[in-house]
Structure 1
């Protein structure tokens, strides 16, 4: 499903055979790129470009990344991903209460809990986390 166009390139969320982490695609013919986004912060990062030998100029990739970061586009990407896959790709990851972030390296500390389940509320643009062993969940306003 198309998210937006940038300089003639379409950013899309694929609706078949998708997988975590949440990401969007751009297919330019000579190259394609994927951009990762998430449901706990508003950052977007370039995931990969194939083939590497046909990589477009950095300005094009950065322009696409910044366009996806626009609140209207990021919210639409999250909504499409959630409605299609019914996952925010956070189950069984580690939440750190102190830093308010999902830990990439799974270090366990007194300030961390494992995410039992997570969901996204498109209407309010919030992610809700249920944590193992925690009496309350986490509400992330995006």
Structure 2
């Protein structure tokens, strides 16, 4: 599903056989790129470009990344991903309550909880986390 166009390149969310992490695609013919986004912060990052030998100028990739990071585009990307794939790709990851972030750690601390389930509310642009064993969940306003 098309998200937007930037300098003649279309950014899309693929809906068939898609997988985590949440990401959007750009297919320019001689190269294609994927950009990761998430449901717990508003940053967007370049995931990969193939083939690497046909990589476009950095300015093009940065422009695409910045365009996806625009609030309206990011909100639409999340709404499409959630609406079609029904996941925010956070289940069974670790949430650090003190740092307010998903963490990759080797040991569990007293500020970390496993995410049992997560959902996105497109109408309010919020992600809700249910934490296993925690007295309450987490509401993330994006």
Pairwise same-fold verdict (TM > 0.5): yes
Q: Which residue in the other structure is 1:52 paired with?
A: 52
TM norm structure 1: 0.99
**Which portions of structure 1, spanning 4 or more consecutive aligned residues, are displaced by more than 4 angstroms?**
none
Which runs of 5 or more structure 2 residues have no equivalent in the other structure?
A: none
Cα displacement (A) at 1:15? 1.0
Q: Which residue in the other structure is 1:99 paired with?
A: 99
Which runs of 5 or more structure 1 residues have no equivalent in the other structure?
A: none
Q: Which residue in the other structure is 1:78 paired with?
A: 78
In the TM superposition, what whole-angstrom CA distance separates every residue of 1:8-36 from its partner, at most 9, and x where no partner exists?
Answer: 00000001000000000000000000000
CA contact (8 A) 1:94 1:106 kept: no
2:7 equivalent to 1:7? yes
TM norm structure 2: 0.99
Q: How many residues align?
A: 142
Q: Which residue in the other structure is 2:87 paired with?
A: 87
**What is the aligned-residue RMSD (CA, Å)?**
0.6
Q: Which residue in the other structure is 1:40 paired with?
A: 40
